[in-house]
Amino acid sequence: MEVKIYTDGAARGNPDGPGGYGTILVYVDSHGTEHKRELSAGYRKTTNNRMELLAVIIGLEALIKPCEVEIFSDSQYVIKAFNEHWIDGWIKKGWKRGKNEPVKNVDLWKRLLKAKEPHHVKFTWVKGHNGHPMNERCDYLATTAADGNHLLEDVVDTTV
């Protein structure tokens, strides 16, 4: 089963302003019928990078069986972590990066690694705000969620 997941994160007043994510899952069944599912939520106090990560996580966690997945994101942070193997280095160094500084958002990186485990995942960068219809729709979902009235708490799990 092949699934395309388009993602975007947004934050107002980054860091620590309201934010949101937008995720679209696209699947074409054996009859050639396209199925789309849109997911989004807003948070009271967060960062853009946390929302970019959460958009990918939510998309992967929505899958109920192992899939061939292509993730499309305008976040260099997310894409380069996998395509340039940053994450492998972070794990080897005990979640440290250059100058022995701690990696930010470790809770979400670990959640993302767990969510992608059953799948074969390819990460593809798309230029943001450049007219890509699915990226624009994800941006709309993310910013609308960030501007919403029913914002959630972005709780950082420090136990991971």
Active-site residue numbers? Answer: 8-9, 52, 74, 129, 139
**Gyration radius of the chain's alpha carbons:** 15
CA angle 131, 123, 83 (to 5 degrees): 120
Judge contact between 61 and 115, C-beta under 8 A.
yes
Omega of the bond leading into 133 within 30 degrees of 0 (cis): no
For 14, the token pair is: 């980054």
- The reply to whether 136 sits in an annotated binding site is no
Q: Determine if residue 52 is labeled as part of a ligand binding site.
A: yes
How far apart CA 83 and CA 116 sit, in angstroms, is 14
| 107 known member of a binding site | no
Run of H or E residues at 72: strand 68-73
Binding-site sequence positions for Mg(2+): 8, 52, 74, 139
